[in-house]
């Protein structure tokens, strides 16, 4: 189950028109751009996709557009998460998983559950999910951390919890998981800037933001790491690192949407409460991209 999620996954943005409606033409265009760039899979309706600002009907429309565009060429992972366990379980039960290959589910935000609560939350999801589950640890967004012990226990107890997207930035925690995890359980970086060092330590890839704009280059970086050619991978890493840092300086997905507009892939519109990056930051991102692509 887990092998299809090894490599480069991209958390796809959701483009909007100026009036706030979803720009499905640009959404399909970005997906084609990602497939052409040889990404291994995509994640739709994640935090980068601004899913929390969408209605149920909009989410269904985005899912259907992704399925129709992908045409089974690469796996699709669907973001289903939140801080109300029973509602997430109901959502899983009602979702048609035809042509959906997995779930990415973020740890509950705001509630600040105990480790027992986090474990039981993901147990409830795993017990209902007909597809593999990737748990998502991002303390900077959720306000709580999934410890290495909790991740390993979930990985051990539930065969359909097949991976963790680790965005804690805590290398010691990531190393503990990599050292003690079950054999087929994947550790996936949630930080673009840490992709190379984490794969060097035994991680299995990245669910990327910058990959929206530079899928070919980031895919090459990941594959070089898998081939243990870290010298060549480091060249790509250092060529992209200033861009990566610039994209997150004023928050995600504001930075990547600016980059995608600069690359003529979508317009630079977000839904409140998110706003575009400042003009100063936009110009800095533009300078970084222009310097990179020559």
Q: Which of 41, 119, 136, 269 is catalytic?
A: 136
Catalytic residue among 165, 257, 269, 284: 165
Q: Is the separation of the CB atoms in 56 and 69 below 8 Å? A: no
Question: What pLDDT, on the 0 to 100 scale, is given for residue 294?
Answer: 72
For 5-65, give the secondary structure using H, E and C.
HCEEEEECCCCECCCCCECHHHHHHHHHHHHHCCCCEEEECCCCCCHHHCCHHHHHHHHHH
Percent of the chain at pLDDT exceeding 70: 99
| Per-residue pLDDT at 2 exceeds 90 | no
What pLDDT sits at residue 1?
Answer: 62
Q: Is the peptide bond before 42 cis (omega within 30 degrees of 0)?
A: no
Whether 153 is catalytic:
no
4 assigned to active site: no
Nearest to 122 by CA among 151, 144, 142, 93: 151
Kindly report the CATH number that applies to the domain delimited by 3-227: 3.20.20.70
pLDDT digits (tens, 9 = 90+) for 15-42: 999 999 999 999 999 999 999 999 999 9
What are the extents of the domains in the chain?
A: 3-227
How high does pLDDT run on average in the chain? 97
């Amino acid at each position: 189950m887990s092998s299809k999620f090894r490599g480069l996954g991209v958390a796809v943005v959701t483009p909007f028109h100026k009036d706030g409606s979803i720009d499905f033409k640009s959404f399909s265009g970005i997906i084609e751009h990602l497939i052409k760039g040889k990404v291994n899979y995509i994640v739709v309706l994640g935090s980068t996709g601004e899913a929390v600002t969408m209605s149920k009907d909009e989410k269904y429309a985005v899912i259907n557009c992704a399925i129709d565009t992908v045409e089974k060429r690469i796996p699709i992972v669907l973001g289903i998460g939140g801080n109300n366990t029973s509602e997430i379980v109901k959502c899983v039960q009602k979702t048609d998983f035809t042509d959906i290959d997995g779930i990415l589910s973020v740890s509950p935000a705001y509630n600040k559950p105990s480790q027992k609560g986090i474990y039981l939350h993901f147990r409830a999801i795993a017990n209902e999910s007909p597809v593999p589950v990737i748990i998502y640890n991002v303390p900077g967004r959720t306000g709580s951390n999934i410890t290495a012990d909790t991740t390993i226990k979930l990985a051990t107890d539930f065969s359909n919890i097949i991976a963790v997207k680790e965005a804690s930035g805590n290398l010691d925690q990531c190393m503990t998981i990599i050292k003690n995890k079950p054999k087929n359980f994947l550790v996936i970086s949630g930080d673009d800037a840490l992709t190379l060092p984490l794969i060097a330590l035994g991680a299995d890839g990245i669910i990327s933001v910058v990959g929206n704009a530079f899928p070919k280059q980031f895919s090459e970086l990941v594959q070089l790491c898998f081939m243990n050619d870290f010298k060549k991978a480091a060249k790509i890493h250092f060529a992209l690192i200033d861009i990566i840092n610039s994209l997150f300086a004023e928050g995600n997905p504001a930075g990547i949407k600016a980059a995608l507009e600069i690359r003529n892939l979508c317009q630079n519109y977000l839904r409140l409460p998110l706003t575009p990056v400042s003009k100063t930051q936009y110009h800095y991102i533009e300078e970084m991209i222009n310097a990179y692509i020559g």
